């Protein structure tokens, strides 16, 4: 039996392969995950790799490491925490966008405030997902961004970003 997400994914796959303007998902999707907490990276990996042809090709524990890995390995998409050592996610995303604007970034944070999400929408960030909503939103966010769209939460908290 197919779930609604399976049907939606199947439609995205057909659209992606029949429309050259959309990224075809038949080839493996290489994902860089940047978060300073190893257990969070492990959970994100397990969720993302539950989708056929998606693989977490690299993991970074700092913003600096995320920039270096993105420039070296050219992932298809990056999932980036905001608060990390050595360089925060905003700075890392900006540095990546300067040199590789073709690599989309989805910000991943414990709390997303309205002002933080507004900042994303005007910069190189293509999406945002709250860590508390990852099980519900992360896969949809990645699909949307891979297909050339964006993904921002319709309603955000007023808590500070972390």
- Tell me the domain boundaries of the chain: 31-146
pLDDT digits (tens, 9 = 90+) for 28-83: 999 999 999 999 999 999 999 999 999 999 999 999 999 999 999 999 999 999 99
Q: How many angstroms separate the CA atoms of 48 and 143, rounded? A: 11
Tokens of 8: 């939606």
Verdict on whether the full-model pTM lies above 0.75: yes
Q: Please give the helix or strand (H or E) that residue 84 lies within, else none.
A: none
Directed axis angle between helix 63-73 and helix 89-99, to 10°? 20
* Spatial separation of the C-alpha atoms in residues 32 and 74, rounded to whole Å: 9
Specify the DSSP class assigned to residue 151: B
- CATH dotted code for 31-146: 3.40.50.2300
* Element containing residue 88 per DSSP (H, E): none
pLDDT in tens, 57-71: 999 999 999 999 999
């Amino acid at each position: 039996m197919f779930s609604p997400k399976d049907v939606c994914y199947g439609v995205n796959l057909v659209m992606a392969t029949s429309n050259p303007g959309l990224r075809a998902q038949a080839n493996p999707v290489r994902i860089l995950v940047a978060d300073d907490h190893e257990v969070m990276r492990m959970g994100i990996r397990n969720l993302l790799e539950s989708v056929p042809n998606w693989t977490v090709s690299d993991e970074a524990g700092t913003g600096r490491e995320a920039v270096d890995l993105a420039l070296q390995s050219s992932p298809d998409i990056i999932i980036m925490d905001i608060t990390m050592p050595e360089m925060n996610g905003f700075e890392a995303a900006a540095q990546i966008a300067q040199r590789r604007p073709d690599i989309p970034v989805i910000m991943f944070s414990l709390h997303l405030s309205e002002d933080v999400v507004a900042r994303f929408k005007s910069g190189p960030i293509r999406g945002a997902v709250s860590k508390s909503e990852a099980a519900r939103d992360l896969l949809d966010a990645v699909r949307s961004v891979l297909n050339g769209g964006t993904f921002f939460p319709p309603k955000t908290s007023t808590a500070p970003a972390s």
